[in-house]
Amino acid sequence: MDFKTLEMKMFMCKTLWECNVDYDVNKISIDQLCVELRAGGVSKEHEMEVREKLGHIEALDLLDFLTYVPLFIMIHQSVINNPLDDSREK
């Protein structure tokens, strides 16, 4: 991987974080995460599974966010590729 590609991916991650973070607590709430999941077309079943798995925490901090970056990138690409698709079958 070249440094330009790495720089672009880091910029995208930073932008995703800034779009979703609550600056008062510097975390992303589980509710905000679920909004992103819905926007990305994730099924209701998968959304509920995420809520169940992450139910023990109130919000994602930066380290949690970085752990799930591949998921956020997949959701972002889904929205970019078809922004008017309101189906939730992914």
7 occurs within a structural domain: no
Its domain, for residue 51, covers 22-73
Rounded-to-integer distance, Cα 17 and Cα 76, Å = 12
Predicted TM-score of the model (pTM)? 0.74
**What does the pLDDT profile of the chain (90 residues) look like in tens digits?**
689 988 988 898 888 899 899 999 999 999 999 988 888 888 899 899 989 998 899 899 999 999 988 888 787 777 778 777 766 665
Report CA 15 to chain centroid distance, whole Å.
11
What's the Cα-to-Cα distance from 42 to each of 14, 35, 64, rounded to whole Å? Answer: 22, 10, 19
84 occurs within a structural domain: no
Domain count, the chain: 1
